[in-house]
Amino acid sequence: MKYSINALKWYTKENILIGVICMWKEKIEIAGPYNFDLALSRLAMDPLNQLNQKERLIRVPIYEDQPEVAIVQAIGTTDQPAFLISGHKEKTKEKVLKRIFSIFQWNISLKDIHAHFLKTSLKDIFIVHHGTPIILDFTPYTTLVKSIIHQQVHMKFAISLTATFVQTFGFQVDGVPFYPSPATIAELKPEQLRPLKFSQRKAEYLIDLGKRIASKELNLDELAKLSDEEIKKELVKIRGVGPWTAQSFLLSGLGRPNLFPMADIGIQKAIKSLFTLEQKPTQTEMLEYSREWEPYLSYATLYLWRSIEP
Would you name the residues annotated as active-site residues? 264
* Dihedral of alpha carbons 143, 148, 152, 158, sign: negative
Classify residue 309 by its DSSP letter.
Answer: -
Single-letter residue type at 32: G
Residue length of the chain: 310
Strand residues in 121-198 grouped as ranges (E)? 171-173, 176-178
Max Cα distance, the chain (Å): 60
Euclidean distance between CA atoms 215 and 219, whole angstroms: 9
For residue 221, how many other CB atoms are within 10 A of its CB? 7
CB-CB contact of 244 with 282 (8 Å): no
40 Cβ contact partners less than 8 Å away, ≥ 6 residues apart: 51, 53, 56, 58
CB-CB contact of 25 with 84 (8 Å): yes
Euclidean distance between CA atoms 53 and 51, whole angstroms: 6
